[in-house]
Amino acid sequence: MFIATLIAAGRLGDDALARAAEIAGGGEIRWIDPGDAADLLLGPVDDWRDLRDRLEEGLPGVDVVVQQAEHRVRKLLVADMDSTMIGQECIDELADFAGKKEEIAAVTERAMQGELDFEQALHQRVASLNGLGVGCLERCRTERVTHTPGARTLVQTMKAQGAQALLVTGGFHDFADPLASELGFTELRANYLESIHGHLTGKVTGEIVDAAAKARALVEMRDRLKLPPEAVLAVGDGANDAPMIKEAGLGFSYHGKPKLEQVAAARIRHNDLTALLWAQGIPKAEWTAG
């Protein structure tokens, strides 16, 4: 059996639900949270991606998640950091302290769109930070970085439901370590910025966390926890998240780039990260911010 979850926080009405049932050719409607999210219970679905696309097109402003009813509550959350768990691209904000934000942000955008090799783009951007005082890292984090709405609630609620949480990012430990602690991630993977005598050298040390490394981290943690693929939920926004999104049992593009939206099972375009809780059938009464 399949479920189509319809999400439009504070904006979902009976007319939209009736329209969804019409598009799907029937189905039983059940509210998760009235006015916010509802399930359309369906029978077998021949092409769930086609159904998702038709529902999205027919319900403007509504996020749609079509999935099998089994294993709906996931046991592992794997999430990207920049523009997913936080609202910024850290390297762009850090480049602003070096007076180079505009040029670096342009490279970041092309990398996230999948137009540039991620590792090469990372080295190019980090090189521009050569000589920047390490004190700017903490200033940037505290002055510029903000949690994405719903981020902590997502992580804490899934943990309360018995899940583990992995933060995996092509960004840097200087930002990821505090964020993981603040939001409640149990593990993380990130890159290391090299510094000497209190200044960045413009180099990254150790193994680069690129698209392939993100997917490997998901698989390694999934296997260590002895979970089936369908027990994993992953979320990201850029083209470099595509391999991990495809590896997950339920992969989300969160306000994502077109190349990620093409491969993601679900696209969150209108709501915040709490949409991922409604997608698992978890009502507000069971949410927690820790």
Cα dihedral sign, 272-273-274-277: positive
Alpha-carbon gap, residue 222 to 201, rounded angstroms: 35
117 in catalytic set: no
Token pair listed for 194: 């090299």
Token pair listed for 189: 């993977």
Alpha-carbon gap, residue 135 to 158, rounded angstroms: 34
Token pair listed for 191: 């890159």
H runs (alpha helix) in 172-234:
173-183, 211-224
Other beta carbons within 10 Å of 226: 7
Angle 283-284-287 (CA atoms, 0-180°, nearest 5)?
A: 100
**DSSP sequence for 14-26:** HHHHHHHHHHHT-
Catalytic residue, chosen from 82, 92, 174, 210, is: 82
Catalytic residue, chosen from 36, 39, 63, 80, is: 80
Strands 187-196 and 164-172: parallel
82 in catalytic set: yes
Closest CA to 179 of 198, 160, 155, 203: 155
Task: Give the residue numbers marked as catalytic.
Answer: 80, 82
